Chains A and B, each alone.
Chain A
Amino acid sequence: MSVTTDSQSQELAPSRPSWHVVLVRPETMTFLLLVFGLIGASLLSPFFLDVNYILRSFTLTAEMSIVALVLTLVVISGEIDLSAASNMALSACIFAWVQAAGAPLPIAVVVGLLAGLAMGTLNAFMSIRMQLPSIIVTIGTLIFFRGLAQVIAGDRSIRVPESFIGINTVMVAGVPLPVVIFVVVAIILGLVLGTTVIGRQIYQIGTNQEAALHAGIDAKRIKVGLFLLLGIVSAAAGIMAASRLGSVRYDLVLGGELQMVLMAMLGGTYIFGGRGTILGTFLAAWLLVIVSTGMTVANLLPAIQLTVLGILLIVAIIATNFIYARTQR
C-alpha cells in the first residue's frame, strides 16, 4: 500500500482555501456591487441615505421582486418562465373585473389567484408534459396573457374599491407591508432551497436531469410544482400591485419579466440551471432599487439610467460566467 500513496496524492485536486470559496460565490459580487451602489449614491446626494426613502422606493418594485424569488427556483431547476409579468397583469385584471361586476372582495381575490394558478398550469403542461422548451412556451404565453388582459380590461383602468387600496401604506414596525412580505418570502424560499430535500433536488435536476431521473428524483413533479407556485405567486403579486396603484390596466408591469430575469441573473443565478441562490436574488433586488433611485436622486436622465442598468447586467453575467468557468475548470 505504501507504494500507492504518492500516486494517490497526484490524483487529488488541491482543496481550496475557505476565503477562496467565499470569494467565488456569485452573491459576493452582488453584495460588493450593493455596497458600492450605496456609497456611490450617498456621495451623489446626501439625502439618499434616508432609510425610509429607500424603503418607499422599494415598494415600487416589491411585487416584481417577490416573483423574481420564485423565478430563481424555476431557473435553478433548468427552466424559465417569461410570462410572470403578464400573469400579474391578467390576474389583476380578472380580480378587478370580478369585483367590479359585484362579487365580494374575498371572492374576487380567490378568483384572481385561481386564474394565476391556471396560467401556471398551462405553462407547466406545455413545458413539462409536452416537453416543449419553456423559453418558447412562455414567450407565447407572455403575449397571450397580456392579450387576454387587454380583452378583459380594454384600454381603460378598472378601479378597485377604496377599502382595498394602499397596501404600500400599511406599516409593520415602520416597514411597508410589501417589503415585509418580500423579506418573509425570501426567508421561506431560502430555507426551502438551502435546507430541504426539495431544495437539494431542485439543484440536482437543474444540474443533470437525466442523472436525477436515474437517482429516482421525480424531476417532472418538482418542475410542475414550481410552475404552479410561480403562477399563484405572480397572481398574488399582481393583486398587490392593484392595491398599491388603486386601479388596474392591461399594461400593469409591462416588460417586468426582463426586470425579474435581471434580478435573478444579477444575483448570480446561472441561466442554464443548477446554480444560484435566493440570497443572490434578494441582494440583487435591493441593488436595482438603490442604483435606480440613486440615479434619480442624482438627477440622471432616464435614458442614462437604462444604459447603466444594461451595463450592470452585462457585467454581472460576465462575472458569473467567469466565476463558474473557474470553479468548473
Chain B
Amino acid sequence: MTTGQPMLIEARGISKQFGGVEVLSYVDLDLHAGEIHALLGENGAGKSTFAKILAGVHRPTRGHLKLNGQPVDVTSPIAAQRLGIALIHQEPVSFPDLSIAENIIMGRQGGGLLSRVPWIKITTDARRYLDMLGVSLDVTRTMRGLSIANQQMVEIARSLASDSKLIIMDEPTAPLTPREVETLFDIARRLREEGRTIIFISHRLEEVRMLCDRVTIFRDGAHISTQTIDSISDDEIIRLMIGRPLKKFMRKHVATIGDIALEVSNLTLPGAFEDVSFTLRRGEIIGLGGLVGAGRTDVARALFGVAPAASGQITVGGTRASIQKPTDAIDLGLAFVPEDRAGHGIFATLSVEHNLTAAIPDNIAPGWFINRKLERSISRRSVEDLSIRLASLRQPIVELSGGNQQKAILARWLLTEPDILILDEPTRGIDIGVKAEFYDMIGDLAEAGRAILLISSELPELLSLCDRILVMSEGRVTAEIPRAEASQENIIQAAVPRSGMAA
C-alpha cells in the first residue's frame, strides 16, 4: 500500500563498530515520506544505534544515506538538525533552568551572536509550535518540574521549530501514563498527515500495532525484516525478534505462603506517601502497581532506609524495626534492587566481581584482608547460578548488556541471603528473553521462602507473578487486589488519580 510514495531516507549497507565489536552490519532500510515506522528488536539488536546514526550522534563505519534521493553525510546532531532529522529521547534532554520557549526555539532565534535576544518573537513562535501540537503550556515557565510527558512535547515542538521531516522517537512511551500515550499518538498521527516521517522505537507491541504503518525488525545488529503491520502477527514479530518462538510466561506453581516477614503500618513521609500499610509473608510476591510518581519507589526507599519514613511502624519477622539507613535494613535481611540501575545500582567502571561482592564485605574478608580466592569463587558461583553472560569477572560491569547488569545487581543481593527482597522495576529496559529468565528467578525465590515486594509498571508482569497486588495513587494505597480478582482494568482504575481525593 505504500508503494509509489516518495522515499525520504534510503540507507544502504550501514554498519557500525564500537571498539572492534560490530553492533550493526549492512543495514538497508527505506523510509517513506509520511509514514510511522516502528523499529523493533531486543536491547542490543542495533535499533537505537541505527536511529543514532540517522540523527548524527554516531557516524557509520561503512555504508551511506540518501535523503530525498540526494546522498548526505550526517556528521553531527547539528548537521542532522539542518537536514531536518530530529531525535526525541526517552528521558528528554533539555536545559532545565531555561524557559520552555527558549528550549523550543534553542539556537534558531536568528540574529548575530551580539544582537539583542528577540524575546517576543521567541515566545510567540514557541506558543505557535505548541498550539500546532494542541498542547497548552505556559511557555515562559522553566523546564524544571515539568512532567516527562510535557518535556517530550517540548522536544517534539523543538523538532517542529527546525521543520524536521524525520522525527525519531526512542522509546517515548515508557515513562508515560496511558492518557499521555494517547495524546502522544494523536500528535504522531497529525504529524504523519503533514507528510512527516516518524520512526517509533518501542518494546510494546500493542502500541506499535495501534500507531505504526510498517515495522522493521532488528536482531543481533542485522536488519531481519520489514513488513506492513497488517501483514504480520504478534507471534511472528516476536519470533523474528528473538529468533525462536517464546512461550507465554506463567508462574509454574505458587509457593506455599508462610509466616509474616514484613509488616508495615501507617508509614508516612509527607510529600511522598501517606498511611501505607500492608503485610508481606514468606513465599509471597506482592506487586506494587501504579503510575510513575505515585510514591511506590519512595515506599521502597523508606523500607530500605535510603530515605526513611517520618512516621509509622515497620515490623520485620515479628519485631519492631527502626530502619534509618541501608545498613539497618541489610542487617534485618532486606535487599533492594533499585529502579535506576546506572545511578543507584552499578559501579560502572569497576569489575563485575567487585560489583557482585559489594554488599558482603565480611564474607570476602574474613580477617584483615580480602581473600581473593574466596571472592573469586563466590562471584563465579553467582555468575553460574544466574547465568550472567560475561567475558571475564574482571571486565568493567558497564560492558555487560543491561539485562546482565541487572542480573549482577540481583546476584549482589542474593549473596546477602535476604529474607525480604524489594525489586523496583527489575525488568525495565531488558530483553524479552532475559525478562523470562527474571520471571522464573523471581518465582523460584518466592518458592525458596523469600518474601518479595515487586514494583512494576508492566501490568502483565504484575498479573502473572504476584499473589496480591497493591495499587498506589498519589502517595496512598488505593486498592489491594488478590490474584484471582486482578485484571488490567481494575489496576488501572485504582492507579489513575481522582480529583477530590488529593492528600
Chain A positions within 8 Å of B, measured between CB atoms, are 3-4, 6-8, 10-16, 191, 195-197, 200-201, 203-204, 207-208, 210-218, 274-275, 324, 327-329
Contacts of A207 in B (CB 8 A): 347-350
Least Cβ–Cβ distance between B88 and chain A, in angstroms: 25
Q: Are B433 and A11 within 8 A (Cβ)? A: no
Q: Given A196-B369, A207-B350, answer yes or no on A328-B345 (Cβ-Cβ < 8 Å).
A: no
Q: Given A13-B395, A197-B364, A204-B354, answer yes or no on A210-B243 (Cβ-Cβ < 8 Å).
A: no
Q: Which of A14, A15, A215, A324 contacts B358 (CB 8 A)?
A: A215
Query: How far, in angstroms, from A216 to B412 measured CA to CA in the complex?
Result: 12
Q: Given A204-B354, A275-B349, answer yes or no on A14-B343 (Cβ-Cβ < 8 Å).
A: no
Q: Are A200 and B361 within 8 A (Cβ)? A: yes
Q: Given A196-B368, A208-B346, answer yes or no on A11-B358 (Cβ-Cβ < 8 Å).
A: no
Q: Are B391 and A15 within 8 A (Cβ)? A: yes
Contacts of B93 in A (CB 8 A): none
Query: How far, in angstroms, from A34 to B31 measured CA to CA in the complex?
Result: 58
Q: Are B396 and A327 within 8 A (Cβ)? A: yes
Q: Are A208 and B347 within 8 A (Cβ)? A: yes
Least Cβ–Cβ distance between A274 and chain B, in angstroms: 6
Q: Are B347 and A7 within 8 A (Cβ)? A: no
Identify the closest chain A residue to B433 (Cβ): A4
Q: Are B350 and A196 within 8 A (Cβ)? A: no
Least Cβ–Cβ distance between A261 and chain B, in angstroms: 21
Q: Are B354 and A203 within 8 A (Cβ)? A: yes
Q: Are A218 and B220 within 8 A (Cβ)? A: no
Q: Are B365 and A3 within 8 A (Cβ)? A: no
Check: B399 CB closer than 8 A to any chain A CB: yes
Contacts of B61 in A (CB 8 A): none
A-B complex: 5 closest residue pairs judged by Cβ atoms: A197-B361, A15-B391, A13-B399, A207-B347, A215-B358
Contacts of A218 in B (CB 8 A): 325, 327
Contacts of A204 in B (CB 8 A): 347, 350, 354, 358
Most B C-beta atoms less than 10 A away, residue of A7, A196, A275: A7
Query: How far, in angstroms, from A13 to B404 measured CA to CA in the complex?
Result: 12
Q: Which of B326, B329, B348, B389 contacts A208 (CB 8 A)?
A: B348
Least Cβ–Cβ distance between B301 and chain A, in angstroms: 9
Contacts of A214 in B (CB 8 A): 304, 306, 326, 336, 338, 344-345
Identify the closest chain B residue to A10 (Cβ): B220
Q: Are A11 and B401 within 8 A (Cβ)? A: yes
Identify the closest chain B residue to A13 (Cβ): B399
Check: B392 CB closer than 8 A to any chain A CB: yes
Chain B positions within 8 Å of A, measured between CB atoms, are 18-21, 44, 219-221, 243-244, 304, 306, 325-327, 329-330, 336, 338, 343-350, 354, 358-359, 361-362, 364-365, 368-370, 389-392, 395-396, 398-401, 404, 412, 433
Q: Main SS of chain B's interface residues?
A: loop
Known: A195-B369, A197-B361, A327-B396; 16 extra A-B contacts, CB below 8 A, are: A7-B220, A7-B243, A12-B389, A14-B20, A15-B391, A196-B369, A197-B364, A204-B354, A204-B358, A207-B350, A208-B343, A210-B344, A212-B347, A214-B344, A217-B358, A328-B348
Query: How far, in angstroms, from A217 to B325 measured CA to CA in the complex?
Result: 10
Least Cβ–Cβ distance between A137 and chain B, in angstroms: 24
Least Cβ–Cβ distance between A16 and chain B, in angstroms: 8
Q: Are B21 and A14 within 8 A (Cβ)? A: yes
Contacts of A11 in B (CB 8 A): 44, 389, 400-401, 404
Query: How far, in angstroms, from A204 to B360 measured CA to CA in the complex?
Result: 13
Q: Are A195 and B370 within 8 A (Cβ)? A: yes
Identify the closest chain A residue to B394 (Cβ): A21
Query: How far, in angstroms, from A195 to B365 measured CA to CA in the complex?
Result: 9
Q: Are B365 and A196 within 8 A (Cβ)? A: yes
Contacts of B350 in A (CB 8 A): 203-204, 207, 274
Q: Given A214-B336, A217-B358, A275-B349, answer yes or no on A13-B344 (Cβ-Cβ < 8 Å).
A: no
Contacts of A15 in B (CB 8 A): 391-392, 395
Q: Which of A7, A10, A14, A210 contacts B391 (CB 8 A)?
A: A14
Contacts of B369 in A (CB 8 A): 191, 195-196
Most B C-beta atoms less than 10 A away, residue of A3, A12, A195, A196: A12
Q: Given A207-B348, A210-B344, answer yes or no on A216-B359 (Cβ-Cβ < 8 Å).
A: yes
Contacts of A7 in B (CB 8 A): 219-220, 243
Query: How far, in angstroms, from A45 to B21 measured CA to CA in the complex?
Result: 50
Query: How far, in angstroms, from A324 to B348 measured CA to CA in the complex?
Result: 12
Query: How far, in angstroms, from A129 to B336 measured CA to CA in the complex?
Result: 26
Least Cβ–Cβ distance between B4 and chain A, in angstroms: 37
Contacts of B306 in A (CB 8 A): 213-214
Q: Given A13-B21, A14-B20, A329-B19, answer yes or no on A211-B395 (Cβ-Cβ < 8 Å).
A: no
Query: How far, in angstroms, from A193 to B244 measured CA to CA in the complex?
Result: 48
Least Cβ–Cβ distance between A205 and chain B, in angstroms: 9
Least Cβ–Cβ distance between A227 and chain B, in angstroms: 20
Identify the closest chain A residue to B18 (Cβ): A329
Least Cβ–Cβ distance between B366 and chain A, in angstroms: 11
Interface pairs (26), CB distance under 8 Å: A4-B244, A6-B220, A7-B219, A7-B220, A10-B44, A11-B44, A11-B404, A13-B400, A14-B391, A15-B391, A191-B369, A196-B370, A197-B364, A197-B370, A200-B361, A211-B343, A211-B347, A214-B304, A214-B306, A214-B326, A214-B338, A215-B358, A216-B326, A217-B358, A274-B350, A324-B349
